[in-house]
Amino acid sequence: MISKKMSEALNDQIQYELYSSYLYLSMAAHFDGENLPGFAHWMKVQTDEERAHAMKFYEYLYERGSSVALKAIQQPPAKFKTPIDIFRQVLEHEQKITSLIEKLYELAIKEKDYATQVMLQWFIKEQVEEEKNDMEIINQLEMIDDSPAMLMMIDRKLAERK
């Protein structure tokens, strides 16, 4: 059985993951409105991935004999600036999520909850990948300056994400 404190912390993480999904869906809507379908597609895939992360925590809580208590999800911003500004926001957001996962891991260590430590290792690796992907896109966007042709090339590349 998982401790009450750990259960509450994992329930909080479900809320953060669902907010992430909602945030990226809002960014997708922005990109669709800006006629950047590849960027929108990338964000929609990210939306689904974040929801899947929330569901991993959801399933884990039940596997450990705990329960899920869904909390309200904050409304994400609806107005965004340039693609590079958006991806900088994405990176900043993912860094925040990384810090939250690390705090969960620290709590699992403190509570000697070895099963949760093992489960969280997957998320730690996932966050490294998330931040790496975001930084790569930011680096590409920094290189193009204000070239619409290059922006369209990146848009096409992002449309290939599976």
Residue 138, both tokens: 């930011």
Which residue ranges of the chain lie beneath pLDDT 70? none
What is the span of the domain harbouring residue 93? 4-158
Other CB atoms within 10 A of residue 85 CB: 12
Q: How many domains, in total, are found in the chain? A: 1
Question: pLDDT of 16-38, one tens digit each?
Answer: 999 999 999 999 999 999 999 99
Average pLDDT, the chain: 97
- Rounded to two decimals, the pTM is 0.95
Q: 3-class SS at 122? A: helix
What's the one-letter identity of residue 130? E
Q: Which of 116, 130, 113 is nearest to 56 (CA)?
A: 116
Q: Return the CATH number at 144.
A: 1.20.1260.10
